[in-house]
Amino acid sequence: MLKFLCGLMCVAMAALAADEVVGGPFTVNVTGRTATVVWIVQTGEATLTAQGNTEVKTVPTLRAEKIVFTSLKPGTEFSYKVPGHELSGSFKTAPSGDQPFEFVLYGDNRTRPDAHKMVIEAVLAHSHPDFVVQTGDMVADGADASLWPTFFSIERELLRHVAFYPSLGNHEHNATDYYDFFQAAPYYSFDWGKAHFAIFNSDLANAAPTEAGRQAFWKEQTAWLEDDLRKSQGATFRFVAAHHPPMTAVSSRQGDNPHITALMPMFEKYHVTAALFGHDHNYQHYLKNGVHYLISGGGGAPLYDVDKPPAEITIKVAKTENFLRFRVEGKVAHMVAFAPDGSQIDHSDLEGGAH
């Protein structure tokens, strides 16, 4: 009996020892009145061994834990501590008025952790964002749990002090971990002061297992997007964000995303200030019919050549890692694109206005 109890205690102690925070804390779903703080816990690990013990793969078992705060005051900075863990952080709720704010944009952090780390260090050195918009492809395979702790480790000091608004990339593979970790929907929108943001899922290939399902999803999402933009005409700024861009300077990828290109007339009709994308691992900036198209896919993935910029609409293209900083003041959003060494790649003042 004593031997049996000792065995149970050993199992229990092993389980407790395995409960390690490997991600976060970070804040998602922030509005003027609510916020959700999330942290990722490793509860153990599973080991897969091939026949003959020639291959071994160990995958952590991860669980998202969260606390939802409600009845908050808009435009207010809050600090928090996570119970049971030595974790703390802060976030700001969305303002309801016209006060200035700052956000950053980056994406495609997968594959090269050293490059990813350089980009995040540059973000911390050259900006003080209230929130982050992420253009997707955070890891090489969203269904591989072993990759997420590396992502969260690199992003920790940034994400513990900002609100985080992600979008799905094709490398997330529509995995359940993405939805669990970020408490996210495939598409959603939010307001920050007088700016409106619509985040949608451009990864049509992984949106459903059948062609009929994919087409039904796209019809539903585009109807939502148009309705969302129609209702936001009173905002000073309208931003849309997704992973796949409608155009590119990468010659081998031109014409790859016709479903996004087909949305450009909608962006023009509803006076979108800027459309924000990733997917192509470089920096690209275009201006067409009053809409800025900004591609920031230089967060750590292998870089692509910018060998064939579209004629007449190109403002700037560059083969480099990058992030974008937006400082919104009144009716102007001051955008600066930075390389990891802090040098400026591009800058532009985006003019807003209600319609």
Instruction: Provide the residue ranges of all domains of the chain, joining segments of one domain with +.
Output: 95-351
Q: Looking at the chain, which runs of residues are DSSP E strands?
A: 20-28, 35-49, 56-69, 77-82, 87-92, 101-106, 131-134, 163-166, 188-192, 195-199, 237-241, 274-277, 283-288, 291-296, 314-318, 323-329, 332-338, 344-351
Band of pLDDT at residue 136, cut at 50, 70 and 90: very high
Q: What is the pLDDT of residue 192?
A: 98
Query: What is the residue type of 37?
Result: V
Tally Cβ neighbours within 10 Å of residue 66: 16
Residue 256: Cβ-neighbour burial (10 angstroms; 0-12, 13-18, 19+): middle
| Rounded Cα–Cα distance for residues 181 and 183 (Å) | 6
Residue 109 in this model has a pLDDT that exceeds 60? yes
Band of pLDDT at residue 18, cut at 50, 70 and 90: low
> What would the pLDDT profile of 29-41 be if each residue is shown by its tens digit?
999 999 999 999 9
What is the mean pLDDT of the segment spanning 116-137? 98
Residue with the larger pLDDT of the pair 15 and 127: 127
The residue assigned the tokens 């982050």 is 132
Residue 116 in this model has a pLDDT that exceeds 70? yes
CATH architecture of 95-351: 4-Layer Sandwich (3.60)
| Rounded Cα–Cα distance for residues 83 and 72 (Å) | 20
Q: What is the pLDDT of residue 326?
A: 98
Q: What is the pLDDT of residue 48?
A: 85
- Its pTM stands at 0.92
Q: What is the mean pLDDT of the chain?
A: 93
Residue 329 in this model has a pLDDT that exceeds 80? yes
Band of pLDDT at residue 78, cut at 50, 70 and 90: very high
8 A C-beta contact, residue 39 and residue 32: no
| Rounded Cα–Cα distance for residues 278 and 107 (Å) | 6
> What would the pLDDT profile of 45-60 be if each residue is shown by its tens digit?
988 888 777 778 888 9
Q: What is the pLDDT of residue 187?
A: 98
Beta bridge partners of 164: 132
Residue percentage of the chain with pLDDT more than 90: 87
8 A C-beta contact, residue 28 and residue 43: no
8 A C-beta contact, residue 337 and residue 285: yes
The token duo for 296 is 């920031």
Band of pLDDT at residue 130, cut at 50, 70 and 90: very high
Smallest CA-to-CA distance from 64 within 187, 177, 188, 157 is with 177
Q: Going by C-beta distance under 8 Å and a sequence separation of 6 or more, which residues neighbour residue 215?
A: none
Residue with the larger pLDDT of the pair 6 and 323: 323
Q: What is the pLDDT of residue 108?
A: 97
> What would the pLDDT profile of 243-291 be if each residue is shown by its tens digit?
999 999 999 999 999 999 999 999 999 999 999 999 999 999 999 999 9
Backbone angles phi, psi at 42, to 5 degrees: -90, 120
